[in-house]
Amino acid sequence: MSKPRIPAEKHLARKILIDLSIMTVIGVILALIGPFGSFEEPLPYRLVNWMGFAYIGYAIYSPMGAIVDRIHAALELPNSGLWIAAVLAATVPMTIVVWSIGFLPKPVPLPSLEQALTSYFYVLVIGGGVTALFNALEAQKTRVAQAPSKQIQPAATLVSEPEETVAKFIDRLPPALGSDLIALEMEDHYVRAHTALGSELVLLRLRDAVAELGGLDGQQVHRSWWVARGAVADVKRERRNVRLVLDGGLEAPVSRANVAQLKELGWF
């Protein structure tokens, strides 16, 4: 029996609530520890200060994930390098916020180069650490989701039932879209499922969605695209760029690293 489908908006709201709960705990811990000389301040002040920084930091650093995913999909650059660049970039506005709040409601003076670099380093240590923690939690969640479930199988059956091929992922889609899957397209932390009857966003990483496709005949032709083989209607070539034209007019890019493999498999 399939699980009831949960709308992507509810998935996102649930994720944000969980993330903010984690940030609340981090803010309280930092307030109790009082790093970077803040321990001299009264505890109520530290609680308000650090929890405020935690929430503001989440608002600044969290969108970096979507940016990293988009650049990673478009340019096929290493994820680790993109995350380092994203954290370094996000630390700039966060440092400005931290420096400014320290002087409010008085006029905010411009810091010297030494003060700016010191503040940036302090913010980078905490911002980078929290980002690494969230990435570790996300990686653990992905590993758990991909782990095969241990279910007790019947000792013997007279007739073996055919293996389900697409049911696990198709169960995530509304019945109105049918089961004729054409392609999967990555959009930030979501995957857009294209079928012959329309499309739907699902809060799931592309690699996890592909893992749920079972024996469906298809290939991941790009870091952000999986395509069903039977849905390919034509192939477009523009110099070294190759695009697959799918049923319904949808076009999926083929990464250069996958062109030779798809040729060997007879896709074009």
CATH number at residue 215: 2.40.50.1020
152 falls within a domain: no
Q: Which residue, 146, 180, 202, sits at the end of a domain?
A: 146
Question: What does the pLDDT read at residue 187?
Answer: 83
Length of the chain: 268
12 plus 64 within the same structural domain:
yes
- Where does the pLDDT of residue 144 fall: very low under 50, low under 70, confident under 90, or very high at 90 and above? low
* Same domain assignment for residues 44 and 127: yes
Q: What is the pLDDT of residue 72?
A: 74
pLDDT at 163: 44
Share of the chain above pLDDT 70, in %: 85
Q: pLDDT per residue over 108-143, tens digit each?
A: 899 999 999 999 999 999 999 999 998 888 777 655
Question: How many domains would you assign to the chain?
Answer: 2
Please check whether residue 159 lies inside any domain of the structure.
no
Report pLDDT digits (tens) over 31-88. Answer: 999 888 888 889 999 999 999 999 999 999 999 988 887 787 677 678 789 999 999 9
Residues 33 and 108 in one domain: yes
Order the strands of the 225-228 sheet from edge to edge.
Answer: 198-202, 190-195, 181-187, 225-228, 218-222
Q: State whether 108 and 208 are in the same domain.
A: no
94 and 129 co-located in one domain: yes
The helix (H) or strand (E) run that includes residue 192 is strand 190-195
Q: Is residue 187 part of a domain?
A: yes
> Could you tell me the two tokens for 112?
């010297």
* Same domain? 256 vs 219: yes
Give me 2's structure tokens.
Answer: 């399939």
Q: For the chain, what percent of residues have pLDDT higher than 90? A: 36
The closest alpha carbon to 130, from 47, 56, 203, belongs to: 56
Question: Band of the pLDDT at 154, cuts 50, 70, 90?
Answer: very low
Residue 210 and residue 126 in one domain: no
Domain of 85?
8-146
**How many angstroms separate the CA atoms of 80 and 115, rounded?**
29
256, pLDDT greater than 80 = yes
Q: Mean pLDDT highest for which of 51-60, 78-87, 204-213, 222-231? A: 51-60
- Asked if residue 258 has pLDDT above 50, the reply is yes
- Among 88, 117, 146, residue at a domain's last position: 146
Distance set, CA 115 to CA 37, 93, 108, 112, 262 (Å): 15, 15, 13, 5, 55
- Cβ contact 134:113 at 8 Å: no
Residues 87 and 175 in one domain: no
Torsion of CA 166, 171, 174, 175, to 10 degrees: 70
Taking the C-alpha atoms of residue 255 and residue 240, their distance in angstroms, rounded to an integer, is 10
